[in-house]
C-alpha cells in the first residue's frame, strides 16, 4: 500500500517536471489559480474579479443599434497587441545574452536610447520621406546595440559584472533621454514636456484605428524567427551557446568567447532599441519625458516565462500582455488593483524555474548535508 502511494506520488512528481511545454502550461494554470486565491483574500467578489482578469482583454463582437456587427473594446485589444510586440522584442533582448550566460538587465536604458535615436532621425530627417522610417529604425537598433555592446565590453575587458553595469547604464541612459527631451527636443506647444509629434513620413498607419497596431506587428514574429535562426543555425549563435553552456571549454577550444559575449549583448541591446522605436513611432507618435521605465523588466519576466526559448517568447509575451490588460479591466470593474497580474506572473515563473519537486521527507533540511 505504502509502495503504491509512493509510486503515485512519483508519477505526479514526474508530471510536474515533464518536457518544458507541458510544465509551463501547468505552471500558468497553477499561477492563475493562486491569483484567484490571492484575490479572494482582498476582494468581496473574487470570482467575478478573477474572470474579468482572465477575459478582460478580449474584444467582443456585438450587434449595434443599426443592426450591423461591430467590434467592441478593440482599442484595449490593440494595447494587448502593442504590448506583445514590445515584450517580444524585450524578451528576446534578454534571451540572447542569457544564452551566453550573461544576465544583462539593460533593456530599459537601451529602449529609451533607441526611442530617442529613432525620434531624432524621424524629426530631423530632411531627405526623401520613404527613407525616414527605415533610417529611424536603424538609428534605434544602433543606439541600443551600442549601449548593450558597452556593457559587454566592460565585462569582457575589465570583468565588470554585467548585472550591475547594465543597471547603472540604464540610469545614465534614462537621464540622457530626459535631458535631451527637456533641453533640445522639447515641443513648445505641448502641455507637458515631450517631443513634437513625429511627421507622417516617420509614422506608421495603424491597421486598427486609434491604436498603434500596424506594420510593426510583424516585427514580433520576424524577430523571433531571426533570433531562433541566429542561435540555432549560425556560427555566431553556436559561439554564443557554447560560451554560455561551458565557458572553460569554449575558451580552451579556441572559440572567440569575448567577442561572442559582446555581440550577444549588442544584439540584445539592438532589439531593445527597436522596441523603443516601436513605442515612439508606432504606439505613441511622440516621446514624453516621463515615459515610465520598467518595461525592460517585464521583458525579463517574459524571457523567464519562456525559459529562454525563442519559440516560446511570443506566447509568453502574449500571455503577459493579456493578463496585464485583464488586470487593468479588473481594476476598473472591481475592487482589486491590477498589480495582481504581476504577482501571478512572478508566481508562474517561480513554478517554472524549479527543476524538480522535493517530497516532504526531504524537506527536513536540517539534517546534515
Partner 1 sequence: MTLALVILAVLAVLRAATPILYAALGGLLSELSGKINVALEGLMLVAAFTGVIAAIHPPAGLPPALLPWWGLLAGLAAALLLALLLAVLHLECGADLIVAGIALNLLAAGLTVFLLAELAGDKGSTARFATPALPALHVPGLERWPTLDLLFNGEGGRGHHLLVLGGPLIALLAWLFLAHTRAGAWLRAAGENPAAAHAAGIPVRRMHYLALLGSGLLAGLGGIYLSMGYLTLFQADMTAGRGFLALAAVFVGRRSLAGVCGAALLFGAAGVLATRLGGLALAGALPPQLFAMLPPAITIAVLALPGWRRAHLDKPPRKLA
Partner 2 sequence: MNPSPLRLELRGVGKRYPNGVLANDGIDLQLARGEIHALIGENGAGKSTLIKMLYGLEQPSSGAIVLDGRAVAFDSPAQAIRAGIGLVPQHVQLVPSFSVARNVTLGAEPARWGWLNHGAAARAVGELARRFGLAADPDALAATLSLGQQQRVEILKALYRGADLLLLDEPGAVLSPDEAHALFTALRTLADAGMTILLITHKIADVLDVADRYTVLRAGRVVAHGASSEASAPGLAAHIVGRPLAPAQRPAPMPAGDVLLRVRGLRRATGVAECLDGIDLDVAAGEILGIAGVEGNGQGLLARALATGVGVALVPEDRLHDGVAPTLSIAENAIASTYDAAPLSRHGWLQPDAIDAATRAMIDEFGVVAAGPDQPIGALSGGNMQKIVLARALAGQPRVLVACQPTRGVDIGAARFLRQRLLALRAQGAAIVLVSADLDEILELSDRIAVMFRGAIVGHFRGEGQDARALAGYMTGARRQDGASARIDAPFAAAGQEAA
Q: Which residues bind partner 2 (CB under 8 A)?
A: 233-236, 238, 241-242, 245-246, 248-255, 368-369
Q: How large is the greatest C-alpha to C-alpha distance in the chain, in angstroms?
A: 81
Distances from the Cα of 10 to the Cαs of 3, 6, 107, 176, in angstroms? 10, 6, 41, 55
Q: Does 347 contact partner 1 by CB under 8 A?
A: yes
Specify the residue for cell string 511570443: 314
Binding mask 10-39 for partner 1 (x = CB under 8 A): ------------------------------
Q: How far is the CB of 85 from partner 2 (least distance, A)?
A: 27
Take residue 204 and report the three cell numbers written for it.
506608421
Other Cβ atoms less than 10 A from the Cβ of 71: the count is 12
- Parallel, antiparallel, or unpaired for β 69-72 and 60-63? antiparallel
Min dist. Cβ of residue 256 to partner 1 (A): 18
Contact partner, 249, from partner 2, partner 1, none, Cβ < 5-8 Å per class: partner 2
For position 154 contacting partner 1 by CB under 8 A, the verdict is yes
In 306-355, where does DSSP find H-type helix?
310-333, 340-353
Q: Which is nearer to partner 2, 74 or 226 (CB)?
A: 226
- Tell me the backbone φ, ψ of residue 206, rounded to 5 degrees: -70, 145
Choose the one of partner 2, partner 1, none that binds residue 357, judging by a C-beta under 5 to 8 angstroms depending on kind: partner 1
Q: How many CB atoms lie within 10 A of CB 215?
A: 12
* Window 68-127: residues binding partner 1 (CB under 8 A): 103, 105
DSSP bridge partners of 71: 61
CB of 159 to partner 1, least distance (A): 4
Which residue of 13, 42, 47, 222 would you call a contact of partner 1, by CB under 8 A?
42
Which residue from 63, 355, 360, 361 is in contact with partner 1, where contact means CB under 8 A? 355
C-alpha closest to that of 137 among 118, 122, 112, 120: 118
| Alpha-carbon span 256 to 149, nearest angstrom | 15
Q: Of 157, 224, 257, 324, which lies in the binding site for partner 1, with binding defined by CB under 8 A?
A: 157
Question: Is the CB of 182 or the CB of 252 nearer to partner 1?
Answer: 182
Give whichever of 251 and 350 is closer to partner 2, judged by the CB atom.
251
User: What is the rounded CA–CA span in Å between residue 30 and residue 153?
Assistant: 41
Residue 61, judged by CB atoms within 10 A of its CB (0-12, 13-18, 19+), counts as exposed
Cα 17 to chain centroid distance, Å, stands at 25
CB of 232 to partner 2, least distance (A): 8
What is the x/- site pattern for partner 1, positions 160-199, by CB under 8 A? Answer: xx-xxx-xxxxxx--xx-xx--xx----------------
Instruction: Write down the least CB distance from residue 278 to partner 2, Å.
Output: 27
Dist CA 159 CA 190 (whole Å): 45
Whether 355 and 23 have beta carbons less than 8 Å apart is answered as: no
Q: Which of 76, 135, 297, 309 binds partner 1 (CB under 8 A)?
A: 297
What residue ranges bind partner 1 (CB under 8 A)? 42, 103, 105, 154, 157-161, 163-165, 167-172, 175-176, 178-179, 182-183, 297, 300-301, 304, 336-337, 339-340, 342-343, 345-347, 349-350, 353-358, 362-363, 365-369
Amino acid at each position: 500500500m505504502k509502495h503504491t502511494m509512493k509510486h503515485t506520488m512519483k508519477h505526479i512528481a514526474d508530471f510536474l517536471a515533464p518536457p518544458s511545454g507541458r510544465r509551463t502550461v501547468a505552471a500558468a494554470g497553477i499561477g492563475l489559480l493562486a491569483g484567484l486565491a490571492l484575490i479572494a483574500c482582498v476582494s468581496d467578489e473574487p470570482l467575478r474579479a478573477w474572470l474579468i482578469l482572465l477575459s478582460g482583454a478580449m474584444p467582443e463582437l456585438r450587434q449595434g443599434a443599426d443592426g450591423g456587427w461591430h467590434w467592441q473594446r478593440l482599442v484595449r485589444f490593440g494595447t494587448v497587441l502593442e504590448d506583445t510586440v514590445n515584450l517580444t522584442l524585450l524578451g528576446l533582448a534578454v534571451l540572447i545574452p542569457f544564452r551566453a550566460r550573461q544576465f544583462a538587465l539593460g533593456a530599459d536604458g537601451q529602449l529609451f536610447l533607441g526611442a530617442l535615436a529613432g525620434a531624432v532621425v524621424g524629426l530631423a530627417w530632411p531627405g526623401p520621406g520613404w527613407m525616414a522610417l527605415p533610417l529611424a529604425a536603424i538609428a534605434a537598433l544602433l543606439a541600443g546595440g551600442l549601449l548593450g555592446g558597452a556593457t559587454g565590453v566592460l565585462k569582457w575587458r575589465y570583468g565588470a559584472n554585467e548585472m550591475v553595469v547594465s543597471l547603472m547604464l540604464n540610469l545614465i541612459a534614462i537621464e540622457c533621454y530626459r535631458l535631451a527631451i527637456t533641453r533640445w527636443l522639447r515641443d513648445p506647444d505641448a502641455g507637458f514636456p515631450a517631443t513634437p509629434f513625429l511627421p507622417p513620413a516617420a509614422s506608421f498607419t495603424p491597421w486598427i484605428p486609434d491604436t498603434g497596431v500596424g506594420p510593426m506587428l510583424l516585427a514580433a514574429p520576424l524577430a523571433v524567427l531571426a533570433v531562433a535562426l541566429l542561435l540555432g543555425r549560425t556560427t555566431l549563435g553556436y559561439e554564443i551557446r557554447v560560451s554560455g553552456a561551458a565557458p572553460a571549454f569554449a575558451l580552451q577550444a579556441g572559440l572567440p568567447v569575448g567577442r561572442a559575449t559582446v555581440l550577444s549583448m549588442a544584439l540584445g541591446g539592438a532589439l531593445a532599441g527597436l522596441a523603443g522605436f516601436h513605442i515612439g513611432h508606432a504606439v505613441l507618435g511622440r516621446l514624453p519625458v516621463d515615459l515610465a521605465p520598467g518595461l525592460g523588466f517585464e521583458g525579463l519576466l517574459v524571457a523567464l516565462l519562456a525559459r529562454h526559448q525563442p519559440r516560446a517568447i511570443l506566447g509568453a509575451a502574449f500571455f503577459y500582455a493579456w493578463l496585464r490588460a485583464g488586470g487593468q479591466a479588473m481594476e476598473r470593474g472591481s475592487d482589486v488593483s491590477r498589480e495582481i497580474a504581476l504577482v501571478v506572473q512572478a508566481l508562474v515563473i517561480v513554478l517554472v524555474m524549479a527543476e524538480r519537486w522535493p517530497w516532504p521527507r526531504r524537506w527536513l533540511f536540517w539534517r546534515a548535508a
